[in-house]
């Protein structure tokens, strides 16, 4: 919540916060359209099969889990990863020279994939590890851990 505004989708929340703070957002309309394109791809094509895999591995009640769905989700993730690799080679940032909220989403998603045991091209694995090791990411993890310990 921010005043009267309540948002519930992570990409919308992060995009709003980035725009509000004037950080991690392209300044041009074309750049913002590219950011939206990447956020949409990352959440619907790359992250979605990982979440489906997670649901059918541990989140759903056991009687609702389905191994065939897990296999399809793994296939979907690898297909989306191949599409990503055709557009991004792990050098620089998704929008060129500019580090944006889309890079954070990609790094988090690739980190989640690594934890789920999904194969990732070495260059993207290295990119994600380096991106998540940035000092600002570490500060965010510390704030998150602190907030969780106060609940």
Give phi and psi for 93, each to the nearest 5: -130, 165
pLDDT in tens, 114-135: 999 999 999 999 999 999 999 9
β partners of residue 2: 5
Q: Domain ranges in the chain?
A: 10-149
| Residues facing 93 on adjacent strands | 96
Residue 6 three-state SS: coil
Note the pTM of the prediction, 2 decimals.
0.90
Reported as a single tens digit per residue, the pLDDT across 84-107 is 999 999 999 999 999 999 999 999
The count of other CB atoms within 10 Å of the CB of residue 84 is 23
Question: What's the mean pLDDT when you consider all of the chain?
Answer: 94
> For 10-149, which CATH class?
mainly alpha
2 vs 147: which has the higher pLDDT:
147
Model confidence at 7, in pLDDT bands (50, 70, 90)?
A: very high
């Amino acid at each position: 919540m921010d005043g009267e505004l309540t948002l519930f989708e992570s990409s919308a929340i992060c995009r709003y916060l980035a725009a509000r703070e004037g950080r991690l957002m392209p300044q041009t309309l074309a750049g913002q359209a590219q950011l939206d394109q990447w956020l949409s791809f990352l959440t619907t094509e790359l992250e979605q099969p990982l979440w489906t895999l997670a649901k059918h591995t541990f989140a759903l009640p056991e009687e609702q889990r389905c191994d065939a769905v897990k296999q399809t989700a793994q296939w979907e993730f690898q297909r989306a990863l191949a599409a990503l690799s055709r557009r991004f080679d792990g050098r620089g940032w998704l929008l060129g020279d500019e580090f944006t909220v889309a890079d954070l989403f990609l790094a988090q998603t690739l980190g989640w994939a690594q934890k789920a045991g999904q194969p990732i091209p070495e260059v993207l694995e290295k990119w994600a590890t380096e991106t998540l090791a940035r000092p600002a990411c570490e500060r965010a993890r510390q704030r998150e851990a602190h907030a969780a310990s106060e609940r």
